[in-house]
Amino acid sequence: MTIVSAVKTRDCLVMGTDSLSTQITSDAKGQINVVKSYSHTPKLFELTNRPIGISTWGVGNIDNRSIGGLVSEFSDSLTQQTHTTVQAVATQLCTFINLLYSKSFSNIAIDKQPILGFFVGGYSNTSPLAEMWVVRFPMTANSCAQLIAPQYFGATWEGVPLPFYRLQKGIDSRITDKLKQLGVLQQEIDQATQGMESSVIFDSMPVKQAIDYCKFILNTTIGFSQFEVGVPVCGEPLQVAFITQKGFKWVEELTYHW
């Protein structure tokens, strides 16, 4: 698994990921076993010559191609396009990956197909505000959707969402389903949990604090993973960059990456 995070303010979009990848196998009984972990897997990518970044979580390869290699190939395919939007990049990425994903996993029941996701974020042409899109597999009607519109600000995260969700929202995300099973109405749940979320002002947050908050999400999840029973599902080093209209700038970068 993975933790990816993003923080959007008036002045920038910060994107970050962990770097842990795990190799798994399944035995004759379907038991999943971790056979190896690697700690320097590229998961955050700069789109060639554009103020746009792509981060990924979920499965790390399709057949014998790594996700990093595929994103690099996709980025090269856009070099002839002089003007583009974040939405266009997300849509084209969805089409590009789906050709390979569907070919590789179409013979597997959809509920068994591996999870693969992408954040695509940055600036569209001369837009003064950043935006964020999400691309998800297996494909659904909402596989490519806008996550944060230009006029909105905030933070989002994916991969291993629960640890930071508990901290930021003040409740476990699974509590709603548990209470509904006990017959509690959604309106009553909303009333009981109102006001528990931590209040954070994102719109006027300086770039440095946006970077720190993005790292905060990553480090909280990594720290939880290190101590929870079981094999760690995310880990250091961090990969973090911030994007402005002027371009993509690394804050914490892997020594070797695509």
Q: What is the pLDDT of residue 35?
A: 76
Q: What are phi and psi of 210, to 5 degrees?
A: -65, -40
Q: Quick check: 146 pLDDT over 80?
A: yes
Q: Which residue is it, tokens 């990425």?
A: 93
- Rounded-to-integer distance, Cα 47 and Cα 45, Å: 6
Which residues lie below 8 Å from residue 212, measured CB to CB, with a gap of 6+? none
Angle at 17 between CA 15 and CA 18, to 5 degrees: 160
pTM of the predicted protein model: 0.92
Mean per-residue pLDDT for 207-217? 98
Domains and CATH numbers, the chain: 3-169+205-252 (3.60.20.10)
Q: Quick check: 192 pLDDT over 80?
A: yes
Q: What is the pLDDT of residue 80?
A: 67
Among residues 151, 251, 156, 254, which one has the least CA distance to residue 207?
A: 251
Mean per-residue pLDDT for 190-204? 92
- Give the bridge partners for 156, in sequence order: 6
Q: Which residue is it, tokens 């935006």?
A: 131
Q: What is the pLDDT of residue 29?
A: 65
pLDDT confidence tier of residue 247, bands split at 50, 70 and 90: very high
pLDDT in tens, 63-116: 999 999 999 999 998 876 666 899 999 999 999 999 999 999 988 888 889 999
Mean per-residue pLDDT for 149-173? 95
Q: What is the pLDDT of residue 16?
A: 98
Q: Which residue is it, tokens 């849509």?
A: 91
pLDDT confidence tier of residue 22, bands split at 50, 70 and 90: confident
Q: What is the pLDDT of residue 49?
A: 84
Instruction: Say if residues 206 and 179 touch (Cβ distance below 8 Å).
Output: no
Give me 73's structure tokens. Answer: 């190939």
Mean per-residue pLDDT for 38-55? 94
Average pLDDT value for the chain: 92
The share of the chain scoring above pLDDT 90, in percent, equals 73
Helix (H, G, I), strand (E, B) or coil at 116: strand
